[in-house]
Amino acid sequence: MSQEREELLKLLSNEELDLFILTGGIDMDVADQMRENVIGITKIPIGVAENFVINGNPAIIPIATEEKSVIMQASIGAGLVLEGFTASTSGNIMIGQIQVLDVPDLDAAEEAVLAEKEALLFDANTISRTRKAVDLQVKRLDTEVGKMLIVEIFADVRDSMGANLIDSMCELLAPTIAGITGGRPLLRILSNLATRRIVTVTVRVPVETMGSIVIDDIIAADAFAWADPYRASTSNKGVMNGVIGVLLATSNDTRAVEAGAHSYASITGTYRPLTKWSKDENGDLVGVLETPMGIGTVGGVIQSHKLAKVVLRLMNVETASDLAMIAGSVGLACNLGALYIMVTEGIKSIQA
Exactly one of 234, 266, 303, 349 binds ligand MEV (CB under 6 A); that residue is: 234
Of 37-45, 53-61, 77-85, 233-241, the segment contacting ligand MEV by CB under 6 A is 233-241
Between CA 234 and CA 225 the distance in angstroms is 8
- C-alpha dihedral over 59, 60, 65, 66, to 10 degrees? 140
- Nearest-approach distance from CB 69 to ligand MEV, in angstroms: 7
Exactly one of 51, 235, 275, 329 binds ligand MEV (CB under 6 A); that residue is: 235
Contacts of 307 (CB under 8 A, 6+ apart): 19, 20, 23, 24, 25, 26, 249, 251
Q: Which residue's CB atom is positioned nearest to ligand MEV?
A: 238
Site string for ligand MEV, 16-55 (x = CB under 6 A): ----------------------------------------
- Nearest-approach distance from CB 86 to ligand MEV, in angstroms: 22
Between CA 325 and CA 319 the distance in angstroms is 10
Q: Which one, 20 or 224, has the nearer CB to ligand MEV?
A: 224
Q: Which one, 73 or 89, has the nearer CB to ligand MEV?
A: 73
Cα dihedral sign, 189-193-197-199: positive
b (16+ CB within 10 A) / e for 165-194: bbeebbebbbebbbebbebebeebebbbbb
Site string for ligand MEV, 239-278 (x = CB under 6 A): --x-------------------------------------
> Residues 185, 97: contact at Cβ < 8 Å?
no
Exactly one of 141, 187, 298, 347 binds ligand MEV (CB under 6 A); that residue is: 347
> Residues 333, 241: contact at Cβ < 8 Å?
no
DSSP one-letter code for 316: T
Chain contacts with ligand MEV (rule: CB under 6 A)? 67, 234-235, 237-238, 241, 338, 347
